[in-house]
């Protein structure tokens, strides 16, 4: 039997409390990403989502999404084995 190997990219995320609230404006997106890359050391930020904003404290919650360098391999036999062992008694 021929086995297929699927290489899957895994997108990770981190929640960050961010104080440079002026950078969350749409027109400052590139500068925001650059600042986050410098401060976190994550060079491959895929996207940024703005969460809760606190204007009194000038902070907001950001979620950054990035691809890890690890590549996950999924073998066809692993998928078959997992499907056979689904916890049912049938």
| Residue range 65-85, pLDDT digits in tens | 998 866 555 444 444 444 444
Residue-range domains of the chain with CATH: 5-72 (3.30.1660)
Residues 6+ apart with CB under 8 A from 25: none
With H, G, I as helix, E, B as strand and everything else as coil, classify residue 49.
strand
Buried b (16+ CB within 10 A) or exposed e, 51-75: eeeeeeeeebebebebeeeeeeeee
DSSP annotation of 32: H
Global pTM? 0.66
Task: Output the six-digit token pair for 30.
Answer: 């590139």
pLDDT tens string 50-67: 999 999 999 999 999 998
């Amino acid at each position: 039997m021929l086995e297929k190997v699927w290489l899957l990219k895994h997108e990770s995320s981190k929640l960050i409390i961010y104080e440079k609230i002026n950078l969350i404006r749409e027109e400052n997106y590139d500068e925001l990403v650059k600042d986050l890359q410098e401060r976190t050391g994550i060079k491959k930020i895929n996207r940024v989502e703005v969460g809760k904003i606190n204007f009194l404290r000038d902070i907001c919650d950001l979620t950054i999404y990035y691809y890890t360098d690890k590549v996950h391999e999924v073998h066809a036999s692993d998928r078959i084995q997992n499907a056979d062992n689904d916890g049912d008694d049938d």
